[in-house]
Amino acid sequence: MIKKDFGSIIANKRKDRKLSQPQLAALLCERGLDVKAHSISKWEKNVNLPNVLQFFALCEILEISDINRTFQIGTDEKLFSKLNDEGQAKVLDYMNLLMKSGEYIREEPIIYQFPRRTLSLYDLPVSAGTGQFLDSDRFSEIEVGDEVSSSADFGVRVCGDSMEPLYLDGQIIWIHKQETLEEGEIGVFFLDGDAYVKKYHQSDSGIQLISLNKKYAPIQVTSGSILKTFGKVVG
């Protein structure tokens, strides 16, 4: 239901825009609506009301964006039921116009569905201390989502504190399978029967597996050592 002072609202909005009644009529005509100045005069005197198309165009020209608040249009569904068939048809016509404009459609929240996948989590921890063998037969399957890097191929648990503060005892780390690492990258290594998570360091004196915790000395890889890289830590 529109306020009874509809006419004065239109008149005030027109004057705010510094438009005369003939100028407003001309703007409506530019939108394909055959409206004369005397019709606008009748609207402003509450003698007549514009039809749905005219009303929508008026709001656009007069820059009325909040139609409900400006005209105090009721939103109670009971009001709709009080209208006769012609009145209800006008309401539906107006609603269709609003929908077609695309400006008044409520935005639905976007729910992103991230794919889930299954990775192997090895039950026997890799050592961040003295070294334990990574048993390839002892693992469980775990479902992960976007919280785990898409490049991860499997997971292991850290055992010990030599990689603190970055990796803690018991923490799951995720590994991308690769046979070589670049200088300074952290990976999981097999060395002489034990598995370690360490930082890779190579210099003229050879390869060392470095702990982040300074209380642990670097592990020197000797010429007789058996060293294999399981992969790089990616999360």
Give CA–CA dist 58/61, Å, rounded: 5
Give CA–CA dist 201/198, Å, rounded: 9
Helix axes 37-44, 21-30, angle to 10 degrees: 110
pLDDT of residue 144: 87
What domains can you pick out in the chain, each with its CATH number?
Answer: 6-101 (1.10.260.40), 117-233 (2.10.109.10)
Query: What's this model's pTM, rounded to 2 decimal places?
Result: 0.50
How large is the average pLDDT for residues 55-67?
83
Beta bridge partners of 231: 177, 188
Q: Are 3 and 68 in contact (CB under 8 A)?
A: no
Beta strands in the chain (DSSP E): 117-122, 126-127, 139-144, 154-159, 172-177, 186-191, 194-203, 206-210, 219-221, 227-233
Q: Which residue has the higher pLDDT, 1 or 46?
A: 46
Tell whether the model's pLDDT for residue 115 goes beyond 90: no
Tell whether the model's pLDDT for residue 98 goes beyond 80: no
